[in-house]
Structure formats: C-alpha cells, structure tokens
C-alpha cells in the first residue's frame, strides 16, 4: 500500500467576488496549519488579473501569510488572454511578465505548477 501525500494546494481566487470575500478572512490560521504539513511543497493562488494578485499580496500575503511566504511555498497564476486565447499564466511577485502555460480551462489551475 502506497502512502498518500498532499504536495500542492490550489486556491482559485480568479473570480473577483471570491477574492474580495477571501480578503476579509483570517489567513493566519491557514498559514500556520499549511506550514506545519511537511509534504506541502506549494500553495498556488490563482487570480483574474495582475492587479488582483498585487492587491491580495499587499493586503493578505504580506500581512498574514508569513510562514508560507518565507518558506518559498507560494506560487501565483493569472488567468489571462494571450495570443492563443485565454489560459493560465505563471506570475512572479515583483514582475510584470507572465509565463504562458498550455492550460486554457479554469479548472486546470492545479496543473500550472504540477
């Protein structure tokens, strides 16, 4: 019997109403819990735009997600329109550049950093 491991957690905040509602929550408890799970290597946060990502980072990540941020476990993605149509793009804090992925379905967020 093989061991079950949870390596990646995905939080899809690509609907603005969900992102705004999520910003009112206490993320410190989630940050503490997730940072204590030894197999969690990545927490992927998905957004509808770079501005939404920046806002969430400024108001939540930078103030309430110290453990995951300092451990380098946070990853970011933006559902953006590119030359080939809508797709998930990898995003990096502090950069305006987006890296294309082959995933064009909103439900594919979990695959962006797999």
Q: Report residue 9 as tokens.
A: 């957690």
Is residue 45 assigned to a domain?
Answer: yes
- pLDDT tens digits, 54-87: 999 999 999 999 999 999 999 999 999 877 789 9
User: What is the rounded distance in angstroms from the CA atom of residue 94 to the CA atom of residue 86?
Assistant: 23
Cβ atoms within 10 A of the Cβ of 4, count? 6
1 pLDDT tier (thresholds 50, 70, 90): low
With contact defined as beta carbons under 8 Å apart, do 34 and 43 qualify? yes
Q: Sheet harboring 8-13: ordered strands across?
A: 8-13, 42-47, 74-82, 85-91, 98-100
Q: DSSP E strands: which ranges in 1-111?
A: 8-13, 42-47, 74-82, 85-91, 98-100
Is residue 1 assigned to a domain?
Answer: no
Is residue 3 assigned to a domain?
Answer: no
- pLDDT tens digits, 11-53: 999 999 999 999 999 999 999 988 888 888 899 999 999 999 9
Q: Which domain holds residue 35?
A: 8-111
What contacts 13, CB < 8 A, 6 or more positions away? 19, 22, 45, 46, 47, 48, 52, 56
Is residue 56 assigned to a domain?
Answer: yes
Number of domains in the chain: 1
Is residue 2 assigned to a domain?
Answer: no
């Amino acid at each position: 019997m093989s061991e079950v491991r949870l390596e990646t957690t995905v939080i899809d905040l690509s609907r603005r109403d969900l992102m705004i509602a999520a910003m009112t929550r206490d993320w410190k408890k989630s940050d503490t819990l997730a940072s204590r799970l030894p197999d969690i290597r990545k927490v992927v946060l998905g957004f509808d735009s770079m501005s939404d990502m920046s806002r969430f980072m400024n108001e939540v990540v930078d103030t309430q997600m110290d453990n995951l941020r300092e451990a380098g476990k946070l990853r970011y993605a933006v559902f953006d329109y590119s030359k080939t149509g809508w797709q998930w793009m990898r995003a990096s804090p502090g950069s305006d550049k987006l890296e294309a992925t082959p995933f064009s379905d909103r439900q594919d967020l979990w695959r962006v950093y797999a």
